[in-house]
């Protein structure tokens, strides 16, 4: 499944949720499913700057694809980063770089978040793109 297809699937999932309380619960449930990071990967290098909570994203490049794993010490940020990991992990760097984050506005996520959490979300998306650029330059 392509990144765009995954994004559209998320948009459809959110359409079935009636209000932000249900959407909030859905995001938290996504976070509970996230495998998380081992303690040795929770480094300053993997820490996302600009998040209200601590959020770490780790990336590994193998077989021409970039794989992400993440964790957070907050339940909502963990759900948000889980959503991003589920969409972008396992794709070639070019596909990640060519993708957009329009699905975020389509599901209304930024409107639901406080300004500091919205800044954190933007920092997470920038980090995913940064990893794609860095690994594309290496390959």
Asked if residues 55 and 69 have their Cβ atoms less than 8 Å apart, the reply is no
Active site residues per annotation: 51
């Amino acid at each position: 499944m392509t990144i765009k297809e995954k994004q559209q699937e998320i948009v459809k999932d959110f359409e079935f949720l009636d209000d932000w309380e249900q959407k909030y619960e859905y995001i938290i449930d996504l976070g509970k499913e996230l495998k998380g990071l081992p303690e040795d990967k929770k480094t300053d290098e993997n820490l996302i700057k600009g998040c209200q909570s601590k959020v770490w994203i780790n990336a590994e490049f193998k077989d021409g694809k970039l794989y992400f794993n993440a964790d957070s010490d907050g339940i909502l940020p963990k759900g948000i980063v889980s959503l991003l990991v589920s969409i972008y992990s396992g794709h070639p760097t070019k596909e990640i770089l060519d993708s957009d984050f329009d699905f975020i506005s389509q599901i209304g996520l930024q409107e639901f978040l406080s300004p500091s959490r919205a800044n954190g979300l933007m920092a997470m998306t920038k980090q995913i793109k940064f990893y794609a650029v860095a690994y594309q330059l290496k390959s």
